[in-house]
Chains A and B, each alone.
Chain A
Amino acid sequence: MAASVHSTAHGLIRPEPWLRAGGLLAIWLLLLILIVYPLLMLLSRAFFDDGQLSLQALLAAVTAAKNLRALGNSLLLAMMVGVAGTLVGLLFAFTVERVSGARRFSRLIDFFTFLPLISPPFTTSIAFVFSFGPRGLITYDLLGIKGVQVYGLTSTFAAETLTYFPIAYLALRPMLASISTGFEEAAFSLGGSRWHAFRTVTLPLVIPALANAFLLLFGCSLADFATPLILAGSDFSVLPTEAYLQITGMFDLKSGAILSLLLLVPAGLVFFAQERLVAGRSYVTVTGKAAVSAQHDSVSTAAGLALLGFCILMSALILYFYLLLFYASIVLAFGANHTLTLEHYRVIFSEGLPAIKDTLIIALVGMPLGGLYGIVVGYLVGRTTFMGRKAMELVSMLNYALPGTIVGIAYLLAFNDKPLALTGTATILIACYVFRYSPIGIRTTIALLQQIDRSMEEASQSLGASHLVTFRRVMLPLILPAFFAGLGVVFIRSMTAISATIFLVSINWTLITVKILENMTEVALGPAAAFSVFVIVVVVFVTSMLNVLLKRLTAPSLRVGRIGA
């Protein structure tokens, strides 16, 4: 290439190392300001009192009976939800993948398991109270049971399992799909029952995925703030809700900080356990060819029918909850006055319009930022080598791994005063969402990159392209699905998250989810339900658009799964 940059052995200024160094510096700066600094502020608030290291308050709080009880409750609940949710998810995944009659229903099941993932908070909780309470539609009106206690561990456990099992389903299904039924057939042909084949062949292969699903659900439950707020009642306290009440009720930032720390320990352990688990695994290669569906049942017909029936029942339950929600949004006063009305929708579009506008703006701005950030960091961490690469990967995951309550409190402490007073701005909300949810985009990018052979980049290089050009013309089109995944997640979460951002709303910027909570606590159920329905509709619409867009932009040979998963 005599026409391009002339080469000399010495004194050659290559623009690329500078560009990369600049990019890395920018990312580190963002990470330090928006992830590390708030967490440090949180720690300092917990450990220090006016500049003096004081472990007294910390020790007192850590050993206080009520806090330990909250911790114990959180762990117990998380354990139960982890096990139950993984089991339900496994049953669903198994039914769809291995029961030949279920293929027909798989799209339906996909839709029903998708709903809880994109719903605003409290959806399940509200429906639960109305269905299973002392005057619940199911317990009282349908089954005639009186005096049922709906608040407490059981309800919270059931509601959380219902809300989070789709995550396990989505994590386990591709695993089951990728395990060729050939293994089971081989085992089967060697004698023994179908159950034996499943137990000795399929199950061991699925165990890492099961462990991963369990950890995912454990973490979700640990961090869940919304469901326990409604359903846990006063007898069953959990840490996120306690921390929230300490701060918002007792204006006790220090106690809130300390309680967050208590939550940090199990959350951190879960995160690291997942890292170890995932590191050893090899990712399923995307070949563009659809997985070969089971040619026959892996289970007996009776078992197959039972499984299918179970899945249909659960899906029906989910559908029922959403119908209930919709119904509550169109009647004047649920439980008292069942006149149909559009009044609540009028209210949310008039009085609630600022919240709707704010939320949409924040979501739509955060979306591209989150998507871009996800693939840039994913590429840097997953494809290039530089000092502190592992550190960058860990730090970028922090805000995602930690419960929202912790992140929200940390942001509140860090950005309320100088040097960076961001409270009251949209920036703090957008930053919170971007840095909390784009790790999913980062992870997806890294996973996709692992499936793209290095020779692709080398080929581009050999043809004269610089790193930047290679990234733009080769890597970017290939990791487009990861970009869209990042877009989708940030948007969905911006519309539906609450546990972190409840601390960050202000007079200038407020969110629909906070409005829902407000309406709930003021028992204006109509508007709460109307807002929820609105959010669900918008999210479904936007993710469908993204999916359509992704399909059109991706070469047929590169099709991957849908967004929102």
Chain B
Amino acid sequence: MSPSATDRFTARLSPKIDRRSIVFGALASPFVIARSHAAESLKAYSIWPENYARPMLEAFEKSTGIHVNFIRFSSGEALARLLAEKGNPQVDVLFGGPVETFTAGEEQGIFEAYTPPSAADLPKRFKSEKGQWTAIADDPLVFMTNSKFLAEHNLQPPASWDDLLNPAYKGMLQMADARTSGTAVTRIFSVLQVNNRNEDLAFAYMKKLRQNIQAYTKSGGGGTVPVGLGQAAGGIFFIVDALFTKQKGYDVQISFPKEGIGSAAECIALVKGNKSGAEARKLIDWATSPAMQSLLAPAKINFLPAHPKVAPDPDLAAVLKQAKIIEIDDKWAGENRKRIVDRWVAEVLNAG
């Protein structure tokens, strides 16, 4: 007697296991596999990249026993998500990210006001008037260029905004896309600030700069490795990403424009409709205090601490010595963000 092939197959398995139980088992698995959570936990969207966020949040867990489940989004994406989820919030905290994202979020009413104790020690620009967000770090923008490229073209590291307009850089600059990245928005507002908020002047400059752009990247740090490898000649990045590139071993130069360049506070906020309020507040307290910020330097994460009581890493301070950091009016930036970005998309991005 020759049984059919499928019968043969089933027969080989133990008599107790038949096809049906395999199917049921497979279907049930996602619900059965228990997600092991620490006793206390909270959920967060992190705008900080994983390699910055993870060590910090692990330290938080070590210190408080609270586990943070997070997923990383670039600033535009995070904002979009929070807005889309307004009716059904999925996370408790928005961790890290440039201030312009937070002011925009504040405008859209996606945060819940909470003032951590450290807020009292912070200057005005590091906290929201209504307590909607608080700064955990500061991040100046820098010019970063590839050393080999400079040598080949007999150039000095750019020391002025206009230096970037040099035709030698044609099609060789990479910087962030304002639709998705807060780095770009900070950069645009820096240009505006340098031009005393004369929008027409600022946009004229940016249109000229467009000619030299190789690519606008999705995330702020997207252009760093291409610059490091020499595929691009240079770009404008947050110092944290630029120094990280240098630390990895890429041969790059960091410079600052003499007219001045902006800096973005990196912030944290409590999401409206959060489910783990107590834990979330603990995280905000911790992050805004020296407890977290003193861990940045040892971890070689090149943010400037926001809390005045934490001294910046000496190497970082040395780099910033020649920098002229100008202040951007965050409130004005938050109010005009959408309009300015729309205009940038229409006039600069699509002009090329």
Decide whether A and B are members of one complex: yes
**How far is B73's CA from A250's CA once the two chains are assembled, in angstroms?**
13
Smallest CB separation, B200 vs chain A (Å): 21
* B84 close to A251 (CB less than 8 A): yes
CB of B26 within 8 A of chain A? yes
* A251 close to B76 (CB less than 8 A): yes
* A423 close to B88 (CB less than 8 A): yes
Closest to A480 in B: B6
* A333 close to B177 (CB less than 8 A): no
* B228 close to A246 (CB less than 8 A): no
CB of B319 within 8 A of chain A? no
CB of B195 within 8 A of chain A? no
* B90 close to A510 (CB less than 8 A): no
Smallest CB separation, B330 vs chain A (Å): 19
CB of A417 within 8 A of chain B? yes
Closest to A505 in B: B71
* B6 close to A553 (CB less than 8 A): yes
CB of A149 within 8 A of chain B? yes
Partner of B229 from A229, A235, A336 at Cβ < 8 Å = A336
* A518 close to B50 (CB less than 8 A): yes
* A506 close to B90 (CB less than 8 A): yes
In this complex, the interface size class of chain B, counting residues with CB under 8 Å from chain A, is 35 or more
CB of B23 within 8 A of chain A? yes
Smallest CB separation, B183 vs chain A (Å): 12
**How far is B305's CA from A272's CA once the two chains are assembled, in angstroms?**
59
* B219 close to A522 (CB less than 8 A): yes
* B50 close to A416 (CB less than 8 A): no
* B229 close to A361 (CB less than 8 A): no
Partner of A507 from B4, B5, B71, B231 at Cβ < 8 Å = B71
Number of interface residues of A (CB under 8 A): 64
**How far is B225's CA from A525's CA once the two chains are assembled, in angstroms?**
9
* A229 close to B172 (CB less than 8 A): no
Q: Return the CB mask of B29-46 against A: 1 if under 8 Å, else 0.
A: 110010100000001110
Q: Is chain B's interface secondary structure helix, strand, loop, or mixed overall?
A: mixed
* B171 close to A149 (CB less than 8 A): yes
CB of A29 within 8 A of chain B? no
Q: Return the CB mask of A62-85 against B: 1 if under 8 Å, else 0.
A: 000110010000000000000000
* A149 close to B214 (CB less than 8 A): yes
**How far is B6's CA from A249's CA once the two chains are assembled, in angstroms?**
52
Partner of B33 from A237, A361, A368 at Cβ < 8 Å = A361
CB of B79 within 8 A of chain A? yes
Q: Return the CB mask of A501-523 against B: 1 if under 8 Å, else 0.
A: 00001111010000000100111
Partner of A477 from B4, B181, B224, B251 at Cβ < 8 Å = B4
CB of B226 within 8 A of chain A? yes
* A477 close to B5 (CB less than 8 A): yes
CB of B21 within 8 A of chain A? no
Closest to A135 in B: B230
* B84 close to A336 (CB less than 8 A): no
* B90 close to A423 (CB less than 8 A): yes
**How far is B230's CA from A150's CA once the two chains are assembled, in angstroms?**
12
CB of A479 within 8 A of chain B? no
**How far is B277's CA from A117's CA once the two chains are assembled, in angstroms?**
46
Decide: A368 near B23, CB < 8 A? Known: A361-B29, A417-B87, A523-B225. Answer: yes
* B71 close to A510 (CB less than 8 A): yes
Chain B residues with Cβ under 8 A from A495's Cβ? none
* A234 close to B213 (CB less than 8 A): yes
CB of A281 within 8 A of chain B? no
* A524 close to B88 (CB less than 8 A): no
Q: Return the CB mask of A135-147 against B: 1 if under 8 Å, else 0.
A: 1100000000001
CB of B163 within 8 A of chain A? no
* A335 close to B71 (CB less than 8 A): no
Docked complex: B30-75 residues within 8 A CB-CB of A = 30, 33, 35, 43-45, 49-51, 54, 69-74
Smallest CB separation, B347 vs chain A (Å): 11
* A66 close to B218 (CB less than 8 A): no
Chain A residues with Cβ under 8 A from B221's Cβ? 521-523
CB of B103 within 8 A of chain A? no
Chain A residues with Cβ under 8 A from B74's Cβ? 248, 521
**How far is B35's CA from A426's CA once the two chains are assembled, in angstroms?**
13
* B80 close to A247 (CB less than 8 A): yes
* A135 close to B76 (CB less than 8 A): no
Decide: A134 near B232, CB < 8 A? Known: A335-B250, A416-B88, A555-B5. Answer: yes
**How far is B51's CA from A351's CA once the two chains are assembled, in angstroms?**
10
Chain B residues with Cβ under 8 A from A524's Cβ? 49-51
**How far is B345's CA from A237's CA once the two chains are assembled, in angstroms?**
12
Closest to A65 in B: B350
Chain A residues with Cβ under 8 A from B6's Cβ? 476-477, 553
CB of A233 within 8 A of chain B? yes
**How far is B90's CA from A554's CA once the two chains are assembled, in angstroms?**
47
* A412 close to B26 (CB less than 8 A): no
Q: In the complex, which of the residues B33, B91, B219 has the most CB atoms of chain A within 10 Å of its own CB atom?
A: B219
**How far is B90's CA from A506's CA once the two chains are assembled, in angstroms?**
8
Docked complex: A229-278 residues within 8 A CB-CB of B = 229, 233-235, 237, 245-251, 253
* A416 close to B85 (CB less than 8 A): yes
* B69 close to A335 (CB less than 8 A): no
Smallest CB separation, B271 vs chain A (Å): 12
CB of B180 within 8 A of chain A? yes
**How far is B49's CA from A249's CA once the two chains are assembled, in angstroms?**
17
Q: Return the CB mask of B180-215 against A: 1 if under 8 Å, else 0.
A: 110000000000000000000000000000000111
Closest to B228 in A: A336
CB of A552 within 8 A of chain B? yes
* A521 close to B249 (CB less than 8 A): no
* A234 close to B215 (CB less than 8 A): yes
CB of B217 within 8 A of chain A? yes
CB of A101 within 8 A of chain B? no
* B30 close to A361 (CB less than 8 A): yes
Smallest CB separation, B342 vs chain A (Å): 8
CB of B297 within 8 A of chain A? no
Q: In the complex, which of the residues A134, A332, A333, A555 has the most CB atoms of chain B within 10 Å of its own CB atom?
A: A134
23 A–B pairs (Cβ distance < 8 Å), ordered by A: A66-B350, A133-B229, A134-B172, A135-B230, A147-B171, A149-B214, A234-B216, A248-B77, A248-B80, A249-B80, A249-B177, A249-B179, A336-B248, A365-B27, A421-B88, A423-B88, A426-B30, A507-B71, A518-B50, A521-B221, A521-B222, A522-B221, A554-B5
**Given A365-B26, A521-B221; 12 other pairs, CB 8 A cutoff:** A233-B214, A251-B79, A335-B229, A336-B249, A361-B30, A365-B30, A368-B27, A416-B85, A423-B85, A477-B4, A507-B45, A507-B91
Q: Which B positions have Cβ atoms within 8 angstroms of A?
A: 4-6, 9, 23, 26-27, 29-30, 33, 35, 43-45, 49-51, 54, 69-74, 76-77, 79-80, 83-85, 87-88, 90-91, 171-172, 177-181, 213-219, 221-222, 224-226, 228-232, 245, 248-251, 341, 346, 349-350, 352
